[in-house]
Amino acid sequence: MEHLIRSVRTEDWQKVRELRLLALRDPAAPVAFLETYESAVAKPDAYWQERTEGAAVPSRGMRQFIAEGRDGAWAGSVTVLIEEPGTQGALGTERTTVRQAHLVGAFVRAEYRGTGLTDALFAAAVDWARAPGAEGAGVDRVRLFVHEDNPRAEAFYRRFGFVPSGEAVPVPGDPEAREREMVLERAGG
- In tens, the pLDDT along 150-176 reads 999 999 999 999 999 999 988 888 889
| Segment (H or E) for 185 | strand 174-185
> Mean pLDDT of all residues in the chain?
91
So what's the pLDDT on residue 75?
Answer: 97
So what's the pLDDT on residue 162?
Answer: 97
So what's the pLDDT on residue 187?
Answer: 66
H runs (alpha helix) in 95-175: 117-130, 151-160
How would you classify the pairing of strands 3-7 and 62-69? Answer: antiparallel
φ, ψ for residue 132, nearest 5 deg: -80, 160
Q: Kindly report which listed range (4-8, 9-13, 42-46, 56-60) carries the lowest average pLDDT score.
A: 56-60
Task: Please determine, for residue 99, whether its predicted confidence score (pLDDT) is greater than 60.
Answer: yes
Round the CA-based radius of gyration of the chain to a whole number and report it: 16
pLDDT tens readout for residues 65-94: 999 999 999 999 999 999 988 887 766 667
How would you classify the pairing of strands 141-147 and 100-108? Answer: parallel
Intra-chain end-to-end CA distance of the chain, in Å: 31
**Pairwise CA distance, residues 75 & 108, whole Å:** 6
